[in-house]
Structures are given as C-alpha cells and as structure tokens.
Amino acid sequence: NKYIVIKAHIDGKPEESDFEVKTEPFSLSVKPRSNDIIIKNLYVSIDPYQINRMKTMSASQKASEFAVGISPGQVIDAYGLGKVVASGNPKFEKDDYVVGLISWGEYSISQGFILSKLDPMGFPLSYHVGVLGLSGLTAYVGLFEICKPKKGEKVFVSAASGSVGNLVGQYAKHFGCYVVGCAGSPNKVKLLKEELGFDEVFNYKEENDLNSTLRRYFPDGIDIYFDNVGGEMLEAAISNMNSHGRVALCGIISEYTNAEKRAIPDLLTVIYKRITIQGFLSGDYMHIFPEFVTTTIDHLRAGKMHVLEDVSIGLESVPSAFVGLFRGDNVGKRIVQVSQD
C-alpha cells in the first residue's frame, strides 16, 4: 500500500518536496478485523483546509476537534470515494461504493466513521466528491442556509472558479440573483462569464485597490458576500456591504499560508449596517444533504449546471495537485484518481 505523508510540519506555502510517498506491506488476502472495512481508494479530494492540519500547532489548537494535526510520516485522512474490497463491518459489503473519510493512499482501513454507502445514481463517480459531494453541499449551505438570498439581491463570491465558488455562483444565478465573482487569471474570468453565466467577473490580481474595484462592480452595494479567501478581499467586501448584508465565512485561503495576513474588517461598518458575518462548517448540515442532492440533480439533469472538475491521475500526483491549490492552478474541483474502478 502506497500513501502520501508530510516529511515535516509545513508553515507557509507548501512545496512538493514537503511530501513523500511511503510504501507498507499490505495483503488483501488477510480477513479484516471485526468492524474494519478495507477500501480501495478510487478518487481522493484535494482540499485547501488540509494545510492547516499540516502546520506546527500549539497544544491547544491540536486539541480542538476541527484542526486535528497531521504528524510527519502519518497516513493523511482525507475525503474521497472508494470501493469496499473486504468488510468485517455489518453495515458494508464487498463491492459497495463508499464516500467519506478515506486517505491519501491506495487503500484505506476504516471502521465506518464518517463513511456512507453510495448509490452513484447514474452520475460519474467523481461527481460524488465534488458537485454532488461536500463541495456542492458547502456552496448550497453557505448560500441558502447562511445567506438566505432574495431574488434580485447582489452576490459577490471570491475564488469563484474554485470548487465551491463556481457552484455558489451557479446556484445564485439559478435562484435569480445578480452575481459577480473574482478569480486569479484571464482564462478563469472568461470561463465564468462566458460558460457559467456570471454577470461580471474580475481578475483580482490585476486590481490595485480592491475597495474601489468592488465599488465599481457594485455601485449599489453588496447584499451577500460568500468568502473563500479572507484577507484584503474580506476587508474590501465588508466596506462595500449594504445594510443587513450577510457574509458567509466559508474559508480564508489567503491567510492559510500567511500568518501575518489577517483580515481586519471595519467593524464599525458591521455595526452601523447590521451586517451578519457567519462562519460555518458544511459537515454540520448533513440534514440538508438530501435536499441539496435533489436540487442539484434536477439542475444537472436539466443541463443547467456546469461541472468543473480538475482531475489528475495517480497517487503520486497528490502533492503537486495539493500545492497547486495555493498557486491557483486548479479550475473547479481538484481530485486525484488513485485507481480505476
């Protein structure tokens, strides 16, 4: 069994050389222990939050449930999709597809914790890691549960070509909002405007003063900001919010690799404009999953939803796929296909 590890804790921007592939003896002919499920990993998700687990962490951070640290040399658990090859667990059978917590490796051993059986419902398996998986749920929950849009409202989304961001924009457009996104390259801007139907998109790397950029795109103010990046973009968005605006704090990727770059939003604006800023974790909203899947499948079957996937092949590509997230290499959901079904 091959798996990916970090060589040492990573503080700052990750590099491919921070990772290595390890191999351990692994026999598929050994019967699994009671409750154990042996999974052949097919698709693993490449997610920005993992960098926060790879940092040198203080004891208090380590103890917190949302940032369980990853130690050098340790198997890295990750979201993904696989097929059961052997099961000692009554809830799972050989050949079941499963989605949930597996690992950045060829095989995973699970006790069924954060793992469910999957019916692919006729869709490609990879969709269940992205558009029909946690990325989709995150976009859906952040927009509809946290921001509670009204038709015609003006929505701004950052990292708009990313896995979560592109879906936020598409849901908001279908719902009847005016949607502006920002992304980090001319190709991404073109794709979002011409293929995905965003009303406006700008390349934030070409802008000097984000505050005036947002004023230009939202002369009447922002009603909803779906934040994937934090930092200066969050500060500028808060300054441009309308009264009773809502901010869904989904992620702050610009701050993950730069501890000094913390957003300092204008809190007096937050008070006077009665702005709601809410952080959320999509995992807390599994009760919404059936509603989210039904809505998204309807959109997909009606041909109303574009699926942006960015799939690399082979476990060895995990480090470059991961590191590339922080350079903006990906367009849509970044996934590594570890094995063929």
Residues that bind ligand NDP (CB under 6 A): 47-49, 135, 138, 159, 161-165, 183-185, 188, 228-229, 250-251, 253-254, 280-282, 325-326, 328, 330, 334
Minimum distance from residue 97 beta carbon to ligand NDP (Å): 22
Closest approach of Cβ 88 to ligand NDP, in Å?
31
Q: Which two tokens stand for residue 118?
A: 């999957």
CA dist., res. 318 & res. 313, Å (int)? 9
- The two tokens of residue 34 are 């009671």
Beta carbon nearer to ligand NDP, 116 or 203: 203
**Residue 196, token pair as written in the block:** 């995905």
What would the DSSP string read from start to end of 286-302?
Answer: GGGHHHHHHHHHHHHHT
Alpha-helix runs per DSSP H in 218-305: 231-239, 253-256, 267-272, 289-301
Closer CB to ligand NDP, 185 or 295, in the complex: 185
Of 107 and 322, CB closest to ligand NDP: 322
Nearer to ligand NDP, 165 or 319 (CB): 165
Enter the tokens of residue 255. Answer: 């701050």
φ/ψ of 145, rounded to 5, equals -85, -40
- Smaller CB separation from ligand NDP, 193 or 273: 193
- Specify the 3-state DSSP secondary structure of 94: coil
What's the chain's length in residues? 341
Burial (CB count within 10 angstroms: exposed 0-12, middle 13-18, buried 19+), residue 327: exposed
Determine the residue type at 326.
Answer: F
Pairing of strands 309-313, 276-279: unpaired
Instruction: Print burial letters for 43-70: b (CB count within 10 Å at least 16), e (below 16).
Output: bbbbbbebbbbbbebeeeeeeeeeeebb
Nearest distance from C-beta of residue 310 to ligand NDP, angstroms:
8
> Minimum distance from CB of 99 to ligand NDP (Å)?
15
Taking the C-alpha atoms of residue 95 and residue 159, their distance in angstroms, rounded to an integer, is 37
- Judged on CB neighbours under 10 Å (0-12, 13-18, 19+), 207 is middle
Shortest spacing between CB 6 and ligand NDP, in angstroms: 18
Q: How far is the CB of 198 from ligand NDP (least distance, A)?
A: 13
Which residue lies nearer to ligand NDP by CB, 175 or 280?
280
| In the complex, least distance from residue 294 CB atom to ligand NDP, rounded to whole angstroms | 20
User: Which one, 184 or 319, has the nearer CB to ligand NDP?
Assistant: 184
User: Smallest gap, in angstroms, from Cβ of residue 48 to ligand NDP?
Assistant: 4
Nearer to ligand NDP, 118 or 141 (CB): 141
